[in-house]
Amino acid sequence: MATFLYKLGRLAFRRRHFVALIWVALLTLAGVGAASAPPAGTTSFSIPGTEAQKAFDLLEQRFPGQSADGATARVVFKAPSGEKMTDAGNKATVEKTVDELADGSEVASVADPYTGKAVSKDGTIAYASVRYDVSGMELEESTKHALEDAAEQARDAGLTVEVGGDALQAVPETGATEIIGIAVAAVVLVITFGSLVAAGLPLLTALIGVGIGVSSITALASALELGSTTSILAMMIGLAVGIDYALFIVSRYRAELAEGRGREDAAGRAVGTAGSAVVFAGLTVVIALVGLAVVNIPMLTKMGIAAAGTVAIAVLIALTMIPALLGYAGRRVKPAGAKGGLLGRRGGRGKTGADKAGTEKTGAEKETGPAKANLGTRWASFVVRRPLAVLLLGVIGLGAAAIPASDLELGLPDDGSQPTSTTQRRAYDLLSEGFGPGFNGPLMVVVDAKGSDAPKEAFTQVSDEIKGLDGVVAVTPPAPNKGGDTATISVIPDSKPSSVQTEDLVHAIRDAGGDIKADTGAETLVTGSTAMNIDVSEKLNDALLPYLVLVVGLAFLLLIVVFRSILVPLKAALGFLLSVMAALGAVVAVFQWGWLSGLMGVEETGPVMSMMPIFMVGVVFGLAMDYEVFLVTRMREAYVHGEKPHQAVVTGFKHGARVVTAAAVIMMAVFAGFIGSSEAMVKMIGFGLAIAVFFDAFVVRMAIVPAVLALLGKKAWWLPKWLDRALPNVDVEGEGLRTADERGSGPDEDRELVRT
């Protein structure tokens, strides 16, 4: 692989005009497609195999024309202090508002509070339910404006009015912190390279890659029913890996220049060596993201595939556009360690008179003298001397951070998790105040009596059975369809939608339904947004272990090929589990327990997003393997070239620690930039990924990994001979690029060195 990528890098360097034209054309094509594409419609949130989805499908079949997936709005009214909603003036205002809402072209129905018994017991709060023919994302702006105007007019009449539901659903915003994250990345790149030009290349290529990826997602959003969160997550991951992959190649290019190579050869070798690591690191991320399909939640599958596509684009751009831009930059990109413009001018190498030992000095050494031990070298030397202490400290620290994860509660967000500045959240709070916390998450019970001899009796029996359950505040009379074979019953719990008590009630109704079916032949199903959220959480919990086995297993096999070792990939996987558990513990502490919630902009604590653990496992595993591949390949490169195991660890840190540190800080900055998002899921994922990268890069890869390798010694690189012969030689270390003079031995001896 290294030889192929070497040729690709040199070709891109020479044909830079052609390569740049291709990528600019792709960016333009994707941009035109995004601009001309129809707006994204509804995002179908189907959960195959769950009872809630089965009931939802049954409703669409037995209650045609009721727009089961249509948008809803609850216009909540509160009377001024000392007044009631039943007072003549307030009642007239509400009725006028209801009449105005009913005139909308997309309105299916509006329920009057006074005829629908939607006034609180104390008479101070009332609400009007509005149902639309289309989903919230498909509503015309004029319809949304009409809803807002009607509420504003009622406010002008003296009432407190707020609007809940999904009719005013807005595209999530990421906020200014995203720009701050990119700015931090730029500063880190400048510090790392000491050059604005070299620092600008990773940023430029990452932005082009993200532009192509996000524009393509936007262009296909309507056809594939991709939600707005999909493009945000693709942007988040694409930016992070795009900058990092380009960073590694540019850094290796500067190191090759410092060795005295010509620029075209240096570009080829950078792509052949660091580019090989980029390919395998990118593959692990793609495997982790595409593997989300095993969960069998279409929305999550689409998110994973879209983000994986953006990662693939980032890999291709790093392998082709970076060497092309290096060709354009010319001498403005200096060799590693160079301060002026005199370094790296000579394409060849030669011995110097000052080299008394007869060894060859690099181009950088000729100008600046022998390089001093950098911080990475000093740290690695310390870890090699004290491996057991460093290992224990790292494992105990991550274990302590993971403790809150034992209290993990999963759920999906509702209006109660919105900021208090939103009208949806204020409507949620008013309904809780007037009708109880469970009113915001009613359960819809669907009774399928098609197989029953007495449907009406079955409907009544189900209703009576539910009334006798604990935690039920109210049960509406059964509402049968025209055929009389199916009925819906609305159940109001006495607990909020995201609580454990509501989840227990859902299971209690389903358990009671089993006995009812045995008696009457009627099937009882529970659906609604609350029941759907519960089913999603359970489905994700059940899928987590199979997903872990699949993703970790595939990546483990891939890393065996890369490192030609059994213990190194095993160590990588175990280190990942430590970092992801510690990150989940941090998420629980902030978003569920409320620690530092004010600093993170978390206004309402509650259950962790049910998609968070499995999504974090997928993304963090891929990113963790990035650092493993980039750091450990330099160690293996030193080892197969003849260094002793302990010295190989130090050499790997000498060449890789600074760059891996910069890459981790950049990735943390990019992820942390999304903490400012108005979307609760994006905020939580941004924080979770940022803290996970911190734990994995600085504790696992920078401390635990070298400690374990130091303890294992030569055993770390052990591989059974039969497996060594069976595995393909992908040559990540770039051994095929070394000349006979560089090897210092014949081809046969060198191949034997690689095998040992």
Question: Which residues does residue 745 pair with via DSSP β-bridges, in sequence order?
Answer: none
Q: What is the H or E stretch that residue 111 is in? A: strand 107-111
The beta-strand segments (E) located in 530-576 are none
- Note the pLDDT of residue 674: 77
- pLDDT bucket at 338, cuts 50 / 70 / 90: low
- Note the pLDDT of residue 76: 93
- Note the pLDDT of residue 177: 58
Whose CA is closest to 700, among 585, 584, 575, 616? 575
pLDDT (tens digit, 9 = 90+) per residue, 41-58? 545 566 787 888 888 888
Distance CA 718, CA 580 (A): 27
Q: Quick check: pTM over 0.85? A: no
User: Is residue 631 within 8 Å of 652, Cβ to Cβ?
Assistant: yes
Select the more confidently predicted residue: 174 or 597: 597
- pLDDT bucket at 746, cuts 50 / 70 / 90: very low
Residues 543-560 have a mean pLDDT of 83
Residues 8-32 have a mean pLDDT of 93
3-state secondary structure of 431: helix
- Note the pLDDT of residue 499: 81
Q: Which of 396-400, 487-491, 740-744 has the lowest mean pLDDT?
A: 740-744
- pLDDT bucket at 474, cuts 50 / 70 / 90: confident
- Note the pLDDT of residue 711: 92
Distance CA 32, CA 276 (A): 33
Burial environment of residue 3 by CB neighbours within 10 A (0 to 12, 13 to 18, 19 or more): middle
User: Is residue 517 within 8 Å of 42, Cβ to Cβ?
Assistant: no
Q: Which of 179-188, 353-362, 411-420 has the lowest mean pLDDT?
A: 353-362
Residues 442-458 have a mean pLDDT of 87
Residue 334 pLDDT exceeds 80: yes
Select the more confidently predicted residue: 536 or 162: 162
- Note the pLDDT of residue 365: 40
Q: Which of 298-307, 349-358, 622-631, 712-721 has the lowest mean pLDDT?
A: 349-358
- pLDDT bucket at 368, cuts 50 / 70 / 90: very low
Residues 3-17 have a mean pLDDT of 91
For all residues of the chain together, what is the average pLDDT? 81
pLDDT (tens digit, 9 = 90+) per residue, 662-686? 888 888 888 888 787 767 777 888 8
- Note the pLDDT of residue 369: 42
Determine what percent of the chain is predicted with pLDDT higher than 70. 87
- pLDDT bucket at 178, cuts 50 / 70 / 90: low
Locate 726 and state its tokens.
């069976």
Residue 347 pLDDT exceeds 60: no
Residue 565 pLDDT exceeds 90: no
Distance CA 227, CA 307 (A): 13
- pLDDT bucket at 227, cuts 50 / 70 / 90: low
Residues 376-387 have a mean pLDDT of 89
Report which residue type is found at 55: A
Distance CA 693, CA 665 (A): 9
Select the more confidently predicted residue: 656 or 323: 323
pLDDT (tens digit, 9 = 90+) per residue, 87-135? 999 999 999 999 888 887 788 888 888 887 789 989 999 999 888 887 6
Whose CA is closest to 294, among 556, 623, 539? 539
Q: Which of 166-180, 376-390, 413-427, 525-539 has the lowest mean pLDDT?
A: 166-180
Distance CA 392, CA 461 (A): 61
- Note the pLDDT of residue 313: 94
Residues 60-76 have a mean pLDDT of 75
Dihedral pair phi/psi, residue 262, rounded to 5°: -70, 160
Buried b (16+ CB within 10 A) or exposed e, 385-404: eebeebbeebbebbeebbeb
User: Is residue 410 within 8 Å of 616, Cβ to Cβ?
Assistant: no
Whose CA is closest to 73, among 120, 122, 106, 117? 106
Q: Which residue has the tokens 């709060």?
A: 125
pLDDT (tens digit, 9 = 90+) per residue, 495-522? 888 788 888 999 999 988 888 888 888 8
User: Is residue 165 within 8 Å of 424, Cβ to Cβ?
Assistant: yes
- Note the pLDDT of residue 166: 77
- Note the pLDDT of residue 228: 66
Q: Which of 113-122, 173-182, 313-322 has the lowest mean pLDDT?
A: 173-182
Residue 352 pLDDT exceeds 50: no
Distance CA 168, CA 71 (A): 9
Residue 742 pLDDT exceeds 80: no
Distance CA 738, CA 751 (A): 12
Distance CA 12, CA 324 (A): 5
The alpha carbons of the chain give a radius of gyration, in whole angstroms, of: 31
Distance CA 553, CA 452 (A): 49
Locate 620 and state its tokens.
């963090």
- Note the pLDDT of residue 363: 41
Contacts for 9 with CB less than 8 Å, ≥ 6 apart? 267, 268, 269, 270, 271, 272, 275, 319, 323
- Note the pLDDT of residue 84: 92
Residue 367 pLDDT exceeds 70: no
- Note the pLDDT of residue 321: 94
Residue 707 pLDDT exceeds 50: yes
- pLDDT bucket at 312, cuts 50 / 70 / 90: very high
Q: Quick one: how far is CA 635 from the chain centroid? A: 30
